[in-house]
Amino acid sequence: MTDFSSFEKKTGIFFKNKELLKQAFIHRSYINENPGSNLSHNERLEFLGDAVLELVVTDYLYRKYPLLNEGELTAIRSALVNAVIISDIAATLNMNDYLLLSKGEAKDNGKARQYILANTYEAYAGAVYLDQGYEVIRQFIADTILPHTEEIVSRKLWRDPKSLVQEKAQEKAGCTPFYKVLFESGPDHDKRFTVGIFFGADLIAEGKGKSKQEAEQKAAETALKKKKWLD
């Protein structure tokens, strides 16, 4: 059995049921490749953890921002629990080192791995909730995810950057921005895109990402900063 002692020390959460902890890290692809393992994948735990995560974050935002309406709170919550942030947190916790994946999935370190890591964080949250109770998982989420709230709110990252830059450009520059792929690299399963945002003929900013959409969002965000339109 995988030794999770280092991981438990890192998180400070020591499981009573070690099999439940292990299950949180088992991807469906591993089960498909090892049908006789008598193990279960983590998707039911992920389902539970997703709900626990949403409750913890919603409760926190509801109390912290009493003047914001439900639409604004929903947008902030979506920005806070998106796959990019959660997968980065999972990577920081070294969750990657404990994943049980098929040989094919294990070789892929691109966008697919990002989603697997985010889902594993949620599965782990579900496992902690079952093994340790609500207060322990609430504190874990408070320690790992909620510290990102201030940056998202202060930089207005909860507002979709593409929508915001379009609104500001039409208001202040009298034009509608458009995006163009400037450069792309990497194999098909792990592409990297560099996208430019243009106001007319002028290149305002560039953004990079693992998809065109992600690169466009980054370009829009950079343009907002350059134009000082985030205030």
Catalytic residue among 46, 105, 122, 216: 122
Amino acid letter, 10: K
Q: Sheet containing 192-199: which strands, arranged edge to edge?
A: 178-185, 192-199, 202-209
Amino acid letter, 220: A
Tokens 């389902």, residue?
Answer: 47
Counting beta carbons within 10 angstroms of the beta carbon of residue 53, is it exposed (0 to 12), middle (13 to 18) or buried (19 or more)? Answer: buried
Active-site residue, 190 included: no
Active-site residue, 122 included: yes
Q: Which of 209, 191, 189, 24 lies closest to 122, judged by CA?
A: 24
d(CA 221, CA 231) in angstroms, rounded, equals 13
d(CA 226, CA 125) in angstroms, rounded, equals 38
Dihedral angle sign, alpha carbons of residues 41, 44, 45, 47: positive
Q: Who's near 109: CB < 8 A, 6+ residues apart?
A: 190
Q: Is residue 10 classed as helix, strand or coil in its secondary structure?
A: helix
Catalytic residue among 3, 8, 19, 50: 50
- Report the catalytic residues: 50, 122
